[in-house]
Amino acid sequence: MHPNNDPALSDIGLAETVLSGGPRTDRITGMPTGSAPIVAGGPIVAFDNVSKNWGDNQVLKALNFNVNPGEKVSIIGPSGSGKTTILRILMTLESPTEGQVNVDGDVLWDVKLGDKIRESKVMRATRRKIGMVFQGFNLFPHMTALENIIEAPVHVLGMNKAEARDRAAELLQLVGLGTHMNHTPPQLSGGQQQRVAIARALAMRPKVLLFDEPTSALDPELIGEVLNVIRNLANSTDMTMLMVTHEMRFAEEISDRVVMFDHGSAVESGPPEQIFKNPQEERTRAFLQAVLKH
Amino acid sequence: MIWDNAFAISIIPMLLKGLWVTIQLTLLGTLIAAVLGLVAAVIRRLQIPVVSPAVSFIVIFIRGTPLLIQAYVAFFVLPIYGISFNAFTTGVVIIGINYSAYMAEVYRSGIQGVPNGQWEAATALSLPATRVWFRIILPQAVRTVIPMLGNYLIQMFKDSAVLSAITVVELMATAQSIGTSTYRYLEPLTMAGALFFLVSYPASRLVNKLERRYAPKQ
Ligand SMILES: Nc1ncnc2c1ncn2[C@@H]1O[C@H](COP(=O)(O)OP(=O)(O)O)[C@@H](O)[C@H]1O
Ligand SMILES: [Mg+2]
């Protein structure tokens, strides 16, 4: 899909780890690599007529939105347009007011079923296929980087501790923090914390990884190291990635598709070349003009 | 009345014995309060129908009535219904339950102080509820609670004197009984007060240190 030739990758030890792995299996998701995303089974994420209201404020408006397996999708749009809400509904941190959400063929949300879907077996099983990287990292501050990463594999997947540690060490290597295993979040910079958070999410081998403005809370000089890690993931895995971002250049570079949101609706969706070079919608044009001005 | 030094020295062993009982009361009572308070705070937070409101009511009720009355009821009234323990056990349990109602409030604010993002990260990782509580939330909540726990421990140390009213022979009761049997109150009461102070003052200095150590870093 994308050539893996970013010189910056070697800085954080990503290039060696991933490239030396060869084409056998994906070191992160454990799935076969090299092939183009297989779309035969239908979308991996499907929003079907999903609405979300906060009182009178309709944040999502009968949204229909699909993501195909392996697709890297960036969501852009003005603040308050409902971008975060989409990710939070997928992560089950928020419930929709209307509609249905399916992930990998399984029900995550179905408002018709009422309250019994919430924290049901089905939802919990489906949720395990999804991971999320938060704007504010949300690492567990009283645990080391390693402990943060092995917690869920050991206590959710039932992996034995030794194996989980080995994998965590590998993942930390992958995000360029192989030497920071025993650091706690307060001992790490924002950029390092976010990279640990990415490793923590990857440790659960999610099929879909969500990013909510992963670099918005970072000092400018720390943004690059996090983007490099995400770029490398996008280039080297078949994992589906759904990212809300204000980094337009980055979105253009790594995405298969960019979706423009405004007032709770997908206004325009298309390949990055279309969205950034030749937007079809006036609102997309206006938004890009406003954010790219400076 | 003039201070009698020889008499004062002669009652020191008895007072120290009373002090030891007071310390045992305090440590065991604090243990009960710390555990029950935590249980109450978690149950309230879980919002279980019937159970959580019931616990809330009990907490409010305990906080709204004097320790002395609770102790009297437990020691003099409950035995009528066949529930009776010795004075020390009753005293420890009653003061522990009484303080647990206050500790529950402290834990509540500690739990509330854990950022929402911690719960959200736990959900995103699909961690089971027990793991979320014991590994993620409570360790962070208790950190902020430790200095308050220390303050309550010191307060309980002094409050436990109330239990002399249900015949627990702690420091206060020892001083009183020396007074009634010798008709000298000056020395035992003064020295009992001094002993309370000698323990509580260094303890509160220690708590201050803890407070600074566990203060939210910012
Ligand atoms: N907990 C909440 N209560 C009320 N309104 C909310 C809440 N969360 C989000 N909103 C509202 O939903 C709208 C969309 O929010 P969000 O999805 O975060 O937008 P974006 O990520 O595109 O900036 C905003 O108007 C916001 O104020
Ligand atoms: Mg947002």
Tell me the CATH number at B49: 1.10.3720.10
pLDDT in tens, A92-136: 999 999 999 999 999 999 999 887 888 888 899 999 999 999 999
Q: Which residues of A touch B115 (CB under 8 A)?
A: 138
CA B139 → CA A69, A238, B118, B209, distances in Å? 39, 37, 12, 20
Rounded CA-CA distance B205/A181 in Å is 37
Rounded CA-CA distance B31/B37 in Å is 10
Asked whether A41 and A57 are in contact (CB, 8 A), the reply is no
Asked whether A68 and A255 are in contact (CB, 8 A), the reply is no
Tell whether A180 is covered by a domain: yes
Task: List, as ranges, residues with CB under 5 A of the ion ligand 2.
Answer: A 84
Q: Which residues of A touch B143 (CB under 8 A)?
A: 142
Tell whether B6 is covered by a domain: no
Distance of CA A85 to the CA centre of its chain: 14
pTM summary value: 0.85
Per DSSP, the three-state class of A267 is: strand
Q: Is there an atom of ligand 1 within 6 Å of A81 CB?
A: yes
Per DSSP, the three-state class of A261 is: strand
Rounded CA-CA distance A212/A136 in Å is 9
Q: How far apart are the first and last CA of chain B?
A: 56
Give the model's pLDDT for residue A40.
Answer: 58
Q: Is there an atom of ligand 1 within 6 Å of A171 CB?
A: no
Rounded CA-CA distance B157/B151 in Å is 10
Structural domain span for residue A220:
3-39+69-93+124-292
DSSP secondary structure string for all residues of A203-219: TT--SEEEEESTTTTS-
Tell whether A146 is covered by a domain: yes
Q: Which residues of B touch A136 (CB under 8 A)?
A: 117
Which long-range contacts link B176-181 to residues 24+ away (Cβ below 8 Å)?
Answer: B178/B11, B178/B14, B178/B15
Give the model's pLDDT for residue B183.
Answer: 94
Nearest CA, atom 21, ligand 1: A84
Name the helix (H) or strand (E) containing B218: none
Structural domain span for residue B161:
11-214
Average pLDDT over residues A266-289: 95
Find the angle CA(A99)-CA(A103)-CA(A105) to the nearest 5 degrees.
100
Asked whether B10 and B187 are in contact (CB, 8 A), the reply is no
Nearest CA, atom 25, ligand 1: A80
Nearest CA, atom 9, ligand 1: A85
Tell whether A113 is covered by a domain: no
Tell whether B145 is covered by a domain: yes
Q: Is the pLDDT score of A250 beyond 90?
A: yes
**The ligand 1 atom nearest the CA atom of A55:** 4
- What's phi and psi for A58, nearest 5 deg? -85, 105
Give the model's pLDDT for residue A41.
Answer: 73
The alpha carbon of residue A91 is apart from the nearest alpha carbon of chain B, in Å, by: 6
Of residues A206, A207, A203, the one with CA closest to residue A167: A203
Would you call A152 and B126 a contact, using CB atoms and an 8 Å cutoff?
A: yes
pLDDT in tens, A131-176: 999 999 999 999 999 999 999 999 999 999 999 999 999 999 999 9
Q: Is there an atom of ligand 1 within 6 Å of A269 CB?
A: no
CA of A92 to the centre of ligand 2 (A): 16
**The ligand 1 atom nearest the CA atom of A212:** 21
CB atoms within 10 A of CB B58: 15
DSSP secondary structure string for all residues of A176-238: T-TT-TT--GGGS-HHHHHHHHHHHHHTT--SEEEEESTTTTS-HHHHHHHHHHHHHHHHH--
Asked whether B117 and A136 are in contact (CB, 8 A), the reply is yes
Tell whether B92 is covered by a domain: yes
Rounded CA-CA distance B210/B33 in Å is 19
Tell whether A57 is covered by a domain: no
Tell whether A175 is covered by a domain: yes
Distance of CA A88 to the CA centre of its chain: 11
Average pLDDT over residues A254-267: 96
Nearest CA, atom 13, ligand 1: A80
DSSP secondary structure string for all residues of B27-56: HHHHHHHHHHHHHHHHHHHHT-TTHHHHHH
CA A86 → CA A18, A75, A93, A238, distances in Å? 31, 10, 10, 22
Tell whether A106 is covered by a domain: no
Rounded CA-CA distance B205/B200 in Å is 9
Tell whether A87 is covered by a domain: yes
Would you call B125 and A151 a contact, using CB atoms and an 8 Å cutoff?
A: yes
- What's phi and psi for A57, nearest 5 deg? -85, 105
Place of tokens 């000089």: A221
Give the model's pLDDT for residue A14.
Answer: 40
- What's phi and psi for A119, nearest 5 deg? 55, 25
Give me A204's structure tokens. 């659960």
**The ligand 1 atom nearest the CA atom of A86:** 17
Give the model's pLDDT for residue A163.
Answer: 97
pLDDT in tens, B34-84: 999 999 999 999 999 999 999 999 999 999 999 999 999 999 999 899 888
- Count of A-B CB contacts under 8 Å: 55
Give the model's pLDDT for residue A76.
Answer: 97
Question: Which CATH number goes with the domain that contains A261?
Answer: 3.40.50.300
Find the ligand nearest to A265 CA.
1
Rounded CA-CA distance B70/A256 in Å is 70
For residue A91, give the nearest of B123, B128, B135 by CB distance. Answer: B123
Rounded CA-CA distance A291/B75 in Å is 74
Rounded CA-CA distance A236/A32 in Å is 11
Total domains present in chain B: 1
DSSP state of A119: T
Give the model's pLDDT for residue A22.
Answer: 35
Asked whether B163 and B95 are in contact (CB, 8 A), the reply is yes
Total domains present in chain A: 1
CA of A78 to the centre of ligand 2 (A): 9
Asked whether B170 and B14 are in contact (CB, 8 A), the reply is no
Average pLDDT over residues A212-229: 96
Nearest CA, atom 7, ligand 1: A54
Asked whether A152 and A130 are in contact (CB, 8 A), the reply is no
Tell whether B67 is covered by a domain: yes
Tell whether A64 is covered by a domain: no
DSSP state of A276: I
- Identify the segments of chain B with pLDDT beneath 70: 215-218
